[in-house]
Amino acid sequence: MKRLSIQNILLGLVIVTASVTSSGQTVPVNDSKTPVEWVSPLMGTDSDYHVSNGNVYPAIAMPWGMNFWTPQTGGMGDGWAYTYNATKIKGFKQTHQPSPWMNDYGQFSIMPITGELRFKEEDRQSWFSHKAETVTPYYYSVYLADHNVTTEITPTERAALFRFTFPKTDEAYIVVDAFDNGSYIKIIPEENKIIGYTTKNSGGVPQNFKNYFVIVFDKSFTTSSAFNGDALVKEIELKANHTGAVIGFKTRQGEQVNAKVASSFISFEQAEINLKEIGNNSFDQLKEKGKSVWNENLGRIVPEGGTAAQTTTFYSCLYRSMLFPRKFYEYDANGNVMHYSPYNGNILPGHMYTDTGFWDTFRSLFPFLNLVFPEQNSEIQAGLANAYKESGWLPEWASPGLRDIMVGNNSASVVADAYLKIGSDNQYDINTLYEAVIHGANNAGPLKAVGRAGAEQYIQLGYVPYDVVNESAARTLEYAYDDFAIYQLAKALKRPKKEIALYKKRSQNYKNLFDPSHNLMRGKMQNGEFMKPFDPIRWGEGFTEGNSWHYSWSVFHDIQGLIDLMGGKETFVKQLDSVFAMPPVFNNSFNGGFIHEMREMQVANMGQYAHGNQPIQHMIYLYNHGSEPWKAQYWVRETMNRLYTPNPDGYCGDEDNGQTSAWYVFSAMGFYPVTPATDQYVLGAPLFKKITINLKNNKQIIINAPKNSVVNRYIKSLKLNGKEYTKNWLSHTELIKGAVLDFEMDEIPNKNRGINKEDLPYSLTNE
């Protein structure tokens, strides 16, 4: 892909205007950083079990890479592998962890030490400082104070190159820890090589799961030992619950020892093939190649005219939107795509992706891919077809195989939105995917989070009963939307009219849970009565990680229908206003204690608006349906200003595999996919003075808002391709043809723009 704009970026010609406003003055700052230099992988790393400010680790990786690397401050098996407030590093871990709550699989670590030979985590760990730490997506460096060693890492998709700078010593060592729960290690001194495998995982794997690794050093070993648990042994080959290796060198002052590392889920032989990704590149050459890959991908969106903080936040969110789902496929010796199946344990041809939860990511992450990286999502869809063939189900949360967590059947949305937006231009097996979607929509799966729990009752009654299946209201609302996605896909595939009509009818099932006495959604018993007692701020019960105020807006596909149920736009808008006007209080009696999402809503001080969790993240944009779009413009900017920063505490809850980041990326561009599986994006208001989206088809979307500022957050007028445009939505089909949007921004809301019926976004009721 060659475009002048991207080449300019790579030459460092992006000019970003920053401003300092604390004193009331605006000071322009010109900066020629390339996109990846704006990224802060430490954004969101200041988190713990009690309060999440992102719950992420610095992923040193290629976009969608099979393997990530991260410094390890937590103990072996701790989901919080890296926390910003930690002071010691225990190793540098190859990780596949999508979140601390899902934990890791296929992990092992490498750690340099000096002095007395120490291999246990607590003994080998070293003090470090963020002042002596460099963190970028393509390169990591840190000084380990206790060992007087600098460790550097630069990755490829399936391999990495380490560079250790040692002091003068006769006692320089590198510890390779294959971790517990079943591992193997073999030292091959004549080849300066260590091989091994780890079986450590957190579930979702077949019995024969292994991550095979190979490490090749450019310096001969003077000593080599294996360890079994806490004991150092003389063997150089060992299979046990917890194995590892320690190799030693004599080093000169400043001597650099390089290590090539790769792994495979297929075999040792395949790990050796994956090691060839490094080629003959030196460390610095590989580092520059990684930087170019990130710049090329990040360069698809170019923001201009924001503050330094906004630009860093934007690019950091864009980076997080390009990590998951990860590639779970490899190339054999002949260059053929193949994968180890995390569903049946076989080695099979074709693509496979994993490590994403559709409950989170159907909302904006996958629509983001369809707009900006359609070629990537085409591969992901091919992988989903393979997942169905290998397991009999579409995953709803894969890590790496089926996991039993969260609710909904949102694979239907992911499949439908992709086909409706990119299917005609990409080759993958949509017929198999449609079969998979229909199967999942009508059957309870082998796990509660696969297929549809309560499918039988949902089909019979039009809702999931509160007294039969837990989180019943959340399931009902999401199933109804998922049925809408199937309805849309069925139309596109020209399925029988009866089949199309069935899913259109089922998409109206959200109405069965509407309680007019509260103007909110409420769980319903099998006998048709609403559950009681009912407290709208009580978390749990029929809802998932939230309450009725959060979930009552989950009618993504038919907001006009919801408005009608509430008695009209005036009442609807008042209900939206109430979300922000209420105090951030909660009733946690159902949970019997706190979950971190409660605290994150509480401390954000935005009423019941719990942006730190996914169910309510689209709600701000619904003001457009209520003909008061200026309120959406206000609250979108408030959310970006107050709940996102470029700092280690930069998120307001779990980042969740790119979803919370993609919300920011879309919102900064000025629009958002409220209803995936339709052609529309709903307007907010852009954050920057200009954004250019470089599309895969070599077209551009240019978003101009030259008067944008701290106070000018409202849309006075909008022109689309030079013509006055009053609608509160944009067409995906029209945008990807290439488009110029000219926003005139103002500090005063324009209450006459976008208020007419023809300006309102899509609702099924209006078809």
Quick one: pLDDT band at residue 593, thresholds 50, 70, 90? confident
CA triple 188-192-197, angle to 5 deg: 55
Task: Please name which of 46, 118, 122, 144 lies closest in space to residue 86, comparing C-alpha atoms.
Answer: 46
Quick one: pLDDT band at residue 192, thresholds 50, 70, 90? very high
Question: What count of other Cβ atoms lies within 10 Å of the Cβ of residue 346?
Answer: 11
pLDDT tens digit sequence for 198-224: 999 999 999 999 999 999 999 999 999
| 3-class secondary structure, 458 | helix
pLDDT tens digit sequence for 506-519: 999 999 999 999 99
Question: What count of other Cβ atoms lies within 10 Å of the Cβ of residue 519?
Answer: 18
> How many angstroms separate the first and last alpha carbons of the chain?
39
pLDDT tens digit sequence for 58-117: 999 999 999 999 999 999 999 999 999 999 999 999 999 999 999 999 999 999 999 999
Task: Say whether pLDDT at 1 is over 90.
Answer: no
Distance of CA 90 to the CA centre of its chain: 26
pLDDT tens digit sequence for 340-397: 999 999 999 999 999 999 999 999 999 999 999 999 999 999 999 999 999 999 999 9
Question: What count of other Cβ atoms lies within 10 Å of the Cβ of residue 744?
Answer: 17
d(CA 126, CA 87): 8
pLDDT at 592: 77
Give the DSSP H/E element, type plus range, for residue 601: helix 596-604
pLDDT at 31: 67
pLDDT tens digit sequence for 649-680: 999 999 999 999 999 999 999 999 999 999 99
Over the range 676-707, which residues count as b (16 or more CB within 10 Å of their CB) and which as e? bbbbbbbbbbbbbbbbbbbbbeeeebebbbee
Cβ-Cβ contacts under 8 Å for 501 (sequence gap 6 or more):
none
Q: Which whole-number Å values give the CA distances from 749 to 71, 618, 630, 727, 758, in the listed order? A: 47, 21, 6, 16, 20
Q: In what order do the strands lie in the sheet with 739-746?
A: 301-304, 690-694, 700-704, 739-746, 714-720, 723-724
Question: What count of other Cβ atoms lies within 10 Å of the Cβ of residue 523?
Answer: 25
Quick one: pLDDT band at residue 590, thresholds 50, 70, 90? confident
pLDDT at 591: 76
**Bond from prior residue into 400 cis (ω within 30 degrees of 0):** yes
Across the range 551-563, mean pLDDT stands at 98
DSSP secondary structure letter of residue 567: T
pLDDT tens digit sequence for 3-43: 333 334 333 333 343 333 333 333 344 568 999 999 999 99
pLDDT tens digit sequence for 522-532: 999 999 999 99
Question: What count of other Cβ atoms lies within 10 Å of the Cβ of residue 198?
Answer: 29
If you average pLDDT over every residue of the chain, what do you get?
A: 95
DSSP secondary structure letter of residue 39: -
Over the range 301-310, which residues count as b (16 or more CB within 10 Å of their CB) and which as e? bbbebbbbbb
pLDDT at 217: 98
Across the range 703-714, mean pLDDT stands at 98
pLDDT at 32: 81
Across the range 677-699, mean pLDDT stands at 98
Residues forming beta bridges with residue 327, ordered by sequence position? 353
pLDDT tens digit sequence for 287-303: 999 999 999 999 999 99
| Amino acid in the structure at residue 292 | S
| 3-class secondary structure, 206 | coil
Total residues found in the chain within this entry: 767
Looking only at the bridges linking them, the beta strands covering 700-704 and 739-746 are parallel
Across the range 413-440, mean pLDDT stands at 95
pLDDT at 8: 41
d(CA 367, CA 413): 10
pLDDT at 30: 52
pLDDT at 12: 39
The structure's pTM equals 0.96
Quick one: pLDDT band at residue 594, thresholds 50, 70, 90? confident
